[in-house]
Amino acid sequence: MSETAQNNFEEIKHLAEQGGAVKVGIAGIEPKLKRYFDLTPGEFQSWPYAISVAVRLSRAVLESLDDRPTHLYKWHYKQANAVLDGIAFAITNKIQEMGYRALPIAASQILDWKKQNAHVSHRHTAVAAGLGWFGRNNLLVTKEFGAQVRLVTVLTNLPLPAAREQAAFGCGECRRCVDECPVDVLGESSGDFDFDRCFSLLDYFSRKKGIGVMICGLCQKVCPGSTKLW
């Protein structure tokens, strides 16, 4: 790995951590990952790397959830998105100052309502960057903070050291999320996720007074990760 790439990474990581990030990793953009990108040729250009950033959610907010999203959780979700978008913006500015190009992907924006996809899948990028694994809850699970993280991605041509290894599946025998889900959308692996039922529940929640966004949070609330720090 080149010294320049490592130094660039340290600089970007430091900036992200100052902004509130708890994990930062680099994914090399290989065809396998690019399948989860939906960018026009003009938007894609030649981005060799994706910077994946995670911020941690408040356990107190998540633990206050009973069986549905609350106003407290709604505002926390919005705060997390704003923090992530701020970090992605700051990283973009820094990379441009360094003479390279960067494309920040918003934390929570949908590109195609019918397909329910975004320009870039933050989860797949985070897995490729070594931040964690796809858990039974179908979320990116980190060993330290479980699935209690939200994610953002910045594509760039800044020379960076791409992760060589990905985290192994670390849920072990834990099935808390499977037991917690009010509509049984989870199973033995992320491939068992029942999108239609999850979507219908979140659509129902979003119509509740004062919610207005597709959130739930219960599968995040119960996910401890593998180091069992809490």
- Pick one of 15, 33, 61, 107: the residue that binds ligand B12 (CB under 6 A): 107
Task: Output the smallest distance, CB 164 to ligand B12, in A.
Answer: 18
CB-wise, 87 or 160, nearer to ligand B12? 87
Task: Output the smallest distance, CB 38 to ligand B12, in A.
Answer: 8
- Pick one of 74, 76, 94, 123: the residue that binds ligand B12 (CB under 6 A): 123
Residue 131 is a binding residue for ligand B12 (CB under 6 A): no
Instruction: Kindly indicate which of the ranges 3-11, 42-50, 112-120, 157-165 contains the residues binding ligand B12, using the contact rule CB under 6 A.
Output: 112-120
- Pick one of 23, 150, 161, 171: the residue that binds ligand B12 (CB under 6 A): 150
- Pick one of 140, 167, 174, 178: the residue that binds ligand B12 (CB under 6 A): 140
Residue 37 is a binding residue for ligand B12 (CB under 6 A): no
Give me the DSSP letters along 117-165. Answer: B-SB-HHHHHHHTTS-EE-TTSSEEBTTTBT-EEEEEEEE-S-----S-
CB 77 within 8 A of CB 214: no
Give how many residues touch ligand B12 by CB under 6 A: 35
- Residue 126 makes CB contacts below 8 A (sequence gap 6+) with 25, 27, 52, 54, 132, 140, 151, 153
- Name the packing angle between helices 71-97 and 3-18 (round to 10°): 140
Residue 225 is a binding residue for ligand B12 (CB under 6 A): no
CB-wise, 45 or 116, nearer to ligand B12? 116
Residue 193 is a binding residue for ligand B12 (CB under 6 A): yes
CB-wise, 1 or 110, nearer to ligand B12? 110
Segment 56 to 85, residues that bind ligand B12, using CB under 6 A: 77
- Residue 205 makes CB contacts below 8 A (sequence gap 6+) with 68, 69, 211, 214, 215, 216
Residue 127's closest CA among 70, 168, 179, 172?
Answer: 168
**35 burial class (0-12, 13-18, 19+ CB within 10 angstroms)?**
exposed
CA angle at residue 122 from 8 to 230, to 5 degrees? 90
Residue 151 is a binding residue for ligand B12 (CB under 6 A): yes
Residue 216 is a binding residue for ligand B12 (CB under 6 A): yes
Distance CA 18, CA 15 (A): 5
Distance CA 7, CA 31 (A): 26
List contacts with ligand B12 (CB under 6 A): 36, 77, 107-108, 110, 116-118, 120-124, 134, 137-140, 147, 149-152, 190, 193, 195, 198-199, 202, 214-217, 219-220
